Amino acid sequence: MEELADQMRRMIAVSDAELETFLRDCSVQTFDKKEVLAEAHKVAHTVFFVLEGILRVVVTDYNGVDQTMHFAREGEFIADYSSFLRQEPAAFRLEAISPLKVVRMPRKAIEWGYAHMAEGEKMGRLIAEYYFVYLDDRIQSRYTLRPEERYARMGKIFPDIHNRAAQHMIASYLGITPVHLSRIKKAARSKT
């Protein structure tokens, strides 16, 4: 859990005693490829910190098709935050797309951090700000950028995603078909 402690130290001023108490309720868990960390339609009670591997955030659309909304990789926090905050059933499913190792931070630890860590609420705010900006950029790019531009931007946000996620997941994230993604990749290769 040292990676999580290091990330927290980068974000906020936190004492060793605060970290020790916060981490007491956290645990490391591993998941196999395709294993589900958190189910849709269930209330989220956990925030995850990715230690190794990559996962995707999935929503099933009105046609019953899985759509990739987000990827989370090493060093990132992830949850269905709306469900976690509102205590309502989750819209998203979190699914490992590679062998995965995470720190599970249960609600008890998060709430203790907000109440007892000198900068616990600041950390929550920083994570919320990060995801607000990410989601705002994602929504804007979906409507203002061509698929080729979204593809290029995705490579900057998620380096090496092409070697870590299946083509259909990447295409879904970009809002295009796998065939269109193949054309974009071919055109990008021919430019280099």
pLDDT digits (tens, 9 = 90+) for 156-180: 999 899 899 999 999 999 999 999 9
Separation of alpha carbons 68 and 92, rounded Å: 10
Decide if 89 contacts 42 (C-beta within 8 A): yes
Q: Are 32 and 95 in contact (CB under 8 A)?
A: no
Write the pLDDT tens digit of every residue in 119-167.
999 999 999 999 999 999 999 999 999 999 999 999 899 989 989 999 9
pLDDT over 70 at 189, yes or no: yes
For residue 192, is pLDDT > 80? no
Task: Give the residue extent of every domain in the chain.
Answer: 2-119
44, 80 Cβ separation under 8 angstroms: yes
Angle between helices 178-191 and 167-174 (to 10 degrees): 90
- Residue pLDDT, tens place only, 16-62: 999 999 999 999 999 999 999 999 999 999 999 999 999 999 999 99
Beta bridge partners of 70: 57
What confidence score (pLDDT) does residue 110 get?
Answer: 96
Q: In the predicted model, what is the mean pLDDT of the chain?
A: 95
The CATH superfamily of 2-119 is Jelly Rolls (2.60.120.10)
- The pTM is what? 0.93
pLDDT band at 80 (very low <50, low <70, confident <90, very high): very high
Model pLDDT, residue 188:
82
Sheet-wide strand order for 36-38? 36-38, 93-96, 55-60, 66-72
The edge-to-edge listing of strands for the beta sheet with 27-31 is 27-31, 100-106, 46-52, 77-78
Report how far residue 77's alpha carbon sits from residue 165's, in angstroms, rounded to the nearest whole number: 19
